[in-house]
Amino acid sequence: MIHSRNRRLRVNESIRGLVRENVLTTDDFVMPIFVMEGENKQEAIPSMPGIFRRSIDLTVKECKELFSLGVKAVNLYMKVSEHLKDNTGKEAWNKDGLMQNTIKAIKDAVPGMIVMPDVALDPYSIYGHDGIIENGKVVNDATNDALARMSVSHAEAGADLVAPSDMMDGRVMVIREALEESGFTDVGIVSYAAKYASSFYGPFRSALDSAPKDDMEIPKDKKTYQMDFHNSREALNEVFKDIDEGADVIMIKPGLPYLDIVSKVREAIDLPIAVYNVSGEYAMVKAAAQNGWLDNDKTIIESLTCFKRAGADMIFTYFAKEAAILLNK
């Protein structure tokens, strides 16, 4: 006779809900947003169905809708005009730049929205790299100084947290010190501590035209600063260093193929963990759903819940709006 039957706690949805270990809510989401120059402009991103580049006015409108759905945090990326790009990234800290004006507009219109601008030079670089190029290489320390100036300008515009995604060594400490010295002691840092050199970023780079250029004597990829996807122990080394340097939130990117890293880091630290459900992951689900191979809605909720189960506290995802609508039902 069987005395222990696990199925007793799966008999119906009420019982399953009562013993459920992880529950997904709209408070878990950060919506990445692409911003472009102009007014009343919106451009579809072909590789990411349902995602758009928008001018500031339409971005504000979108943020209002997101907030009404319960999505209370956005992560900002700029589509920078070609004539503003160079090898210094100086447009990144222009107080009247597209990023700075976007931050101000969102905070003015939706004060409760948490704004997390991306901190990296690739959208501003003529080379498409996350750092400054010297003698054919991405240099570390000069890039850190640029990232610090960029972060302070974001804080001045009203950012709640800055999100350095560049993977330069020591940049969290340089940014933290710059924020402290400028009086922005309450501005947090979401550190991309374990960001891997991944093939899953393709649609994102087409959205911003931020891929490394092939026709120049520079590195053709970002493997000299982003992590090798073969490694896992190295991720903990990166995480511990960023915590020591002053990170407030630890980011792991990409997401679904790296749930082992999320789980490993969760066991090792008490800080909040963010995970990035990247553009390639989004595009794969959308492509499969459009072909009738997956149920779009069920797959979205299942995949996002997997991040919670692995140990993430917040999820950067292009599904945020769609998932919020599903959860609100």
Which helix (H) or strand (E) segment is 118 a member of?
strand 114-119
Tokens for 249? 């939130």
Give me 13's structure tokens.
């949805």
Decide: helix, strand or coil at residue 254: coil
Instruction: Tell me the backbone φ, ψ of residue 122, rounded to 5 degrees.
Output: -60, -35
Active site residue 72: no
Q: Could you report how far apart the first and last alpha carbons of the chain are, in Å?
A: 43
Q: Which two tokens stand for residue 316?
A: 């950067």
Tell me the C-alpha distance between 255 and 241, whole Å.
Answer: 21
Residues pairing with 42 in the sheet: 54
Question: Across-strand partners of 191?
Answer: 250
Tell me the three state secondary structure of residue 292: coil
Give the number of C-alpha atoms closer than 13 A to the C-alpha of residue 105, restricted to the C-beta side: 19
From CA 130, how far away is CA 102, in angstroms rounded?
Answer: 21
User: 118: buried, middle or exposed (CB in 10 Å: 19+, 13-18, 0-12)?
Assistant: buried
- 251, β-bridge pairs: 192, 274
The Cα 71–Cα 209 span in angstroms is 27
Instruction: Determine which one of 85, 104, 253, 308 is catalytic.
Output: 253
User: What are the phi and psi torsion angles at 36 (to 5°)?
Assistant: -130, 165
168's tokens: 């330069």
Residue of 107, 195, 286, 308 with catalytic role: 195
Rounded Cα–Cα distance for residues 319 and 277 (Å): 9
> For this structure, is 253 an active site residue?
yes
Residue that is written with structure tokens 């890039």 in the block: 143
Active site residues: 195, 253
